Structure 1
Amino acid sequence: MLSHPDVVRATLPAVRAHAVQITDRFYAALFAAHPELLNVFNQSNQAGGRQSAALASAVVAFAEHLLDPRAPFTPVAERVAHKHVSLGIRAELYPVVGRHLMAAVGEVLGDAVTPAVAAAWDEVYWLLACRLIAAEARLYQLGGVDPAQSWRRWRVAKRQVEAVAAVSFTLVPDDGGSVPDFLPGQYVSVAVDLPDGRRRPRQYSLSQGPGRGSLRITVRRIGVVSGFLHDLPADAPVLVGPPAGENTLDAGDGPVLLVSAGIGITPAASMLDHIARVQPTRPVVVAHAERSADRHALRAEVEHLTSGLTDATVLTRYSATDGRLDVDAIPLPHDVTAYLCGPVEFMRDMRSGLLRRGVPDERVRYEVFGPGMLDSAL
């Protein structure tokens, strides 16, 4: 509960209007004072300004939520908490972030930031921080993870080419230790040390279900980090964070719709692998879009897994021009729960079409990486 909601309400338009400018200033100051944090944040998103825009949107959305609890924020908080856990973010970072963020507010808004305004927005930040710290502590505890030692050294036990520009890496702990449990649909952060000396983390969905004594990621060559991973040989070491992600297969036995495009097939493959091993009678519809057959990663595996199910439908569309699916052609069993993963525009179209066809909003779930993860809805 805000102590001074009237102050936040009166100044919210100004903060909203200057939010990206504030977060741009914040990140510049934060990295200048703490260059070690460059190893945590995605520098490609920083360079394009997308991370600043995402943080600005999140802070403004949380302030709106405090003023009106009907304004959605819980999905954003869950995604951010899971992302932070995957990166090993610790509670002691929040005071550092708060100090630089409030300094940026003062620099951008100038004399408009009176002591009362500063105190009100400092409270907004700390209410958000405390919410995230508590959520992250719970996730660390549930996963049995010490946040101070969340990054572990793994090695590539197997490297397998799946399609054009797509390679799977089966990973095992380098020390022979235990493989963490995870839920189908979750992801891990993988950090690589690039030739420029910088450590760069990225998130990759796990592309097999749990219980196999290893973790597997399937990576399309997009960008510097993925390109670096593609050149890794078998037995190469990598740093891996704990499994995270809230877009997971529900534990029921109702029908499932897995909708994916491109390399977004990876969480669908994990869910399908789990269903084939544990719930082979569960009804499943798999719908995938790709630009061409030679780019279709994990195709043979999906065909093998669905062949062992008693009630499975597979739809695939190849299109060099748009890589889309006709949502009206997808069978929709009664009470189906849909899981989407792919480019944001693709998921937006699929979600809109599924809602139009009567699938309730709470049964349409989706995975978003990068700054788009901070959107409350597609």
Structure 2
Amino acid sequence: MAVKLDYGTASQRKLLQEGARDFLRKEIAPLVEECERKYHPLPKDMLQGFFKQLIPLGYVSSIAPAEYGGEDLDFVSCGVLLEELAHVWPSLAVSMMVQSGQARFVALHGTDEHRRKYLPGLLSADIIASLGGTEPNAGSGLRDLQTTAVLKGSGYLVNGTKLWITNGTICDICVVLAYTDKSKKTHGMTLLLVDRNESPFTSTNIEKLGLHCSSTAELVFEDCRVPADNVTGEVGSGYQLISSLLALARCCTSIVEVGISQAAVDQAVKYARERVQFGRPIAKFQLIQELIADMVVETEAARLLTYKALRLAKRTGQHFLESSAAKYYACETAGRVTARAIEVHGAYGISQECPTERLYRDARTLFAPDGPMPIQKLFIG
């Protein structure tokens, strides 16, 4: 278990950020490009190994309550950690945010038995978690989900297919949203903790545009028997609980996009200073300066929007509008910023040897999770 951290003030968060940044750029960054080319996704033992390296810095257990063994960092401090990780390796950041989020969910909404049985393993990364919400015909419109959980004796029979599930191919547990009573509509949805060893289900890896090292899967449940005691929250509370989860997830996705944007800015500035054309660095050319200026300003605006949403989540818990605004703007920004970074790099920018090319793919891949841009506009409107 990590040593308890206290980062409640800006100066303390700065120490948190600097510690994470130093470790990530020295120990993790040199491994990223080779792993992204070789693994689609990372094998489970490798992912666990990376998670375990990051635990002493406050990762994994960051947002879990202290009384259950977590660090109980505020959401802004968690955002600082996640942004630094995304700057170095977006794939690992995405897998991390799901692991941390599910550890927090089990701590807050699981039973005492769930916390005893699963929480230590989640916080130590011995257990990998996923969230099974979206389906082939129920993405942002979760009311249309088809997965059912029918009570039979002392357990539920779960049937259905989940799609686009982060950590899905390697997860040990999955918190699954299912209808326990379709007649009650959203009030008939329930979240169940499905232990893969006790209640087997199948998974198939999905190859994606980017985020290659982060597992994304289709999960299939066929008469998957789940003990009735594995309900998380209350029967019928699933829709409300997952809506809150997704609002926080939008903030996390936004932070990952901010980290990607900042990495693209840093790479573009470095290349512009080193690349010489017509007898001088291209950083001296005004059109290159214009590209970089736009990248810097938009990245900072996305950062401010996202941290505003995280502060509201910390203070009031009411951040649905702000999380959608952050997701919309941060994703749009990351798409533009990484595209401009490729322009700064010229022909080299489209080579797979150029890290900026990967950042562009990673940024675009994050447009869909937790609701694509048109859905965020609908929420805002």
Give the TM-score band, short-chain normalised: under 0.3
Structure number having the greater strand percentage: 1
Q: TM-score, normalization: structure 2?
A: 0.25
Q: TM-score, normalization: structure 1?
A: 0.26
